[in-house]
Amino acid sequence: MTRRDTATSGHPDARGLRVAVVRAGFHPEVADGLLSGALQALREMGLPDEGVTVADVPGAFELPLAARAAARSGRIDALVALGAVIRGETDH
């Protein structure tokens, strides 16, 4: 299956892609679960672990800046941003 076949097959195909995952680490118990789920989903779409770059940032506030830098790098095909803002936990 090629990536072009994805639209007609209904099955996402990530083989051959370079994916950046940017993770906010302020709530590690949440962030770790989100990362685990994202990596599993990417594997299920055929993306090997070496096709994924994970970048950690301190919190959700930094996610947009890191995501923009990754997107502008020209070294990735897709971007996943993971983080959580829990009411009452931060000033965001």
Residues with catalytic annotation?
92
Dist CA 92 CA 88 (whole Å): 9
Residues 6+ apart with CB under 8 A from 85: 60, 92
